Structure 1
Amino acid sequence: MTTGYRVRPDALDRRGPLADSLSRVNPRQARVELRYGLPGGAPRWTTCADFLDLPDGFDRWRSGLAGWLRAQYGDSPDRTTAGYVMSWYLTVPGYLAGLLFHHERRVPSLRPEDLAFRMAEPRPHPDAIAVLNPNFACLPDDPAAGTAEATAVADERALAAVLRGRFAAHASRFADVFGPQVRFGRRMLWAAATDALDNALWLAGRYGGDEGAGVLDAALVLDDGPAPFTSGSTLRAVHPADGGPVEWTRRRESCCFHYLLAAGQGTCSTCPRVCPKG
């Protein structure tokens, strides 16, 4: 998928507390590349703001995905391309925020103009995320508290509220743009946002070597009532019958519609279509 999207000329790589955080966090996960600022030339990169402003941005993304899905599965239903793109886009602010909150107790700006992502090829998913604003919220005992870039808040619950609010603002902008283009209701869009945030915090703990800590972070961030999210954290412990170690799973709030791709694909075991609440 060739984008041709604009790149902010002032989005230059630089060092600072948040750049240092990203350098520390990046090797503690393997899903995407994390960085501060954009590389020279920045091929296949776009800011989230530029992408949301493009009248045909999501149509082009879904068209590129449809071609890849047809090559892999022989089919590309509209609901599946919409479900994939919805999940992938929300992962950009959600996964980044989850990692920085879990490992660094820092929350960056999540405004669309302050984030960028790179589109992979041939499978058109975000494979790198860049932060373009050096400012962040943190705790009072953060080593960078008191610097020009940092805004200290009272405690972890307050920092979780900052993360929740910033992510919700970005997700709301996405829903306003993407919602009219697909056959999903508002609840489905916010269900996907809930999944993105809950899953990001869980994965941050798992990849970082302390899955339980990620579960606790997910509960903390999604603890202050569901609205506009569709639930609190749905993570739950599974105790194997053979007495093995506890495993964690969660019920998805949204559906990716992968089961529509081809006969025999089946429904995910965590899909809300088959996984009961509670």
Structure 2
Amino acid sequence: MTVRLARSALADSLASADTSRGHVTVRFGTPDDSWRNCAGLLADPAAFDRWRKDLAEWLNDRHDGNIPERTTAGYVLAWYLQIPAYLGAILFHTARRVPWLRPADLAFRLSGDRPHPDGIALLSAGFVCLPDDPAVGTPEATVVRDEAALAGVLRARYAGHAGEFVAAYGPTVRLGRHMLWGAATDALDSALWNTGRMFGDEGAGVAQAALVLPARIEPFTSASRLYPVHGEGRTVWTRRRESCCFHFALDGGTPCVTCPRVSAAEREQRVLEQS
């Protein structure tokens, strides 16, 4: 799909956000037909089967033995949820703006190598912002009173998209509701944290994750799971996931450092060794 849109305040925000250090690029509008609208994907659940099949073939080239269905299901689950989470987190961190995150408002592109999203596009110009935003008074801007209110808008808009995804994706995989919403929680928490890290201020990422996920608020399965690890005269941050990608089920695979199967002691040791 190709969607070319007039320049807007959000287009300028995305253009000024240097995401070159991340694993996904963001943009306003789509330049060519290699991009897939999220609403179109959710309306075609069979597309998820094709996505998982392509992933299984990619994994099979790198791992011996059969590729478990739960692994491809877990990968695609996490990858898709990163689309609304990552875009929302970037604009929240860099501009204190929250765009529309409805499926019809987002598109993505899959990498030509590993079948994961490597590009995310925003397709609508409206956003919510704070009273001191320079775009206040323009037709695209809606103002809320403070950062807590803005965080609530991000949480609600992301939950709306995640809910539509869970309804479409859930029946195509053997994963329970807690796993699905646990993955949604993980994606938002991690996106807020990693955005701070990507832009050189991990502390801000941790703080904004706590602001957006201050407690267990339905339908999310927990508050922010980020916590500090102290050792060797330094402090590093990590988290315990609410869901699992099932990477460990691959031949030669091991649990990720944030996997719920990893004990707190092992996680802390691995985090300190890797930092």
TM-score when normalising by structure 1: 0.92
Aligned identity (percent) is: 56
Residue identity opposite 2:24 in structure 1:
V
Q: How many corresponding residue pairs?
A: 264
| 1:151-188 CA distance string (max 9 Å, x none) | 01110000000000000000000000111111111110
* 2:113 counterpart residue number: 122
| 1:14-42 CA distance string (max 9 Å, x none) | 31100000011134642111100010x33
Q: Counterparts in 2 of 1:186-205, with a 5 A limit?
A: 186-205=177-196
Q: Is the 8 A contact 1:29 1:204 kept in 2?
A: no
Runs of 4+ in 1 over 6 A off after TM superposition: none
* 2:243 counterpart residue number: 254
Q: Counterparts in 2 of 1:56-205, with a 5 A limit?
A: 56-74=46-64, 75-205=66-196
From the superposition, tell whether residues 230 and 276 of structure 1 become closer, same or farther in structure 2 (CA, over 3 Å): farther
Q: Is the 8 A contact 2:229 2:235 kept in 1?
A: yes
Q: Counterparts in 2 of 1:8-19, with a 5 A limit?
A: 11-19=3-11
* 1:37 counterpart residue number: 29
- How far apart are the structure 1 equivalents of 2:134 and 2:61? 50
Give the SS at the match of 2:26. Answer: strand
- How far apart are the structure 1 equivalents of 2:157 and 2:12? 21
Q: Which runs of 5+ in 1 are unaligned?
A: 1-6
From the superposition, tell whether residues 188 and 111 of structure 1 become closer, same or farther in structure 2 (CA, over 3 Å): same
Give the SS at the match of 1:72. Answer: coil
Q: Is the 8 A contact 2:45 2:169 kept in 1?
A: no
Q: Is the 8 A contact 1:26 1:34 kept in 2?
A: no
Q: Cα RMSD (Å) of the superposition? A: 1.4
- How far apart are the structure 2 equivalents of 1:38 and 1:26? 18
Give the SS at the match of 1:107. Answer: strand
Residue identity opposite 1:229 in structure 2:
F
* 2:206 counterpart residue number: 215
Q: Which runs of 5+ in 2 are unaligned?
A: 266-275
Residue identity opposite 1:261 in structure 2:
L
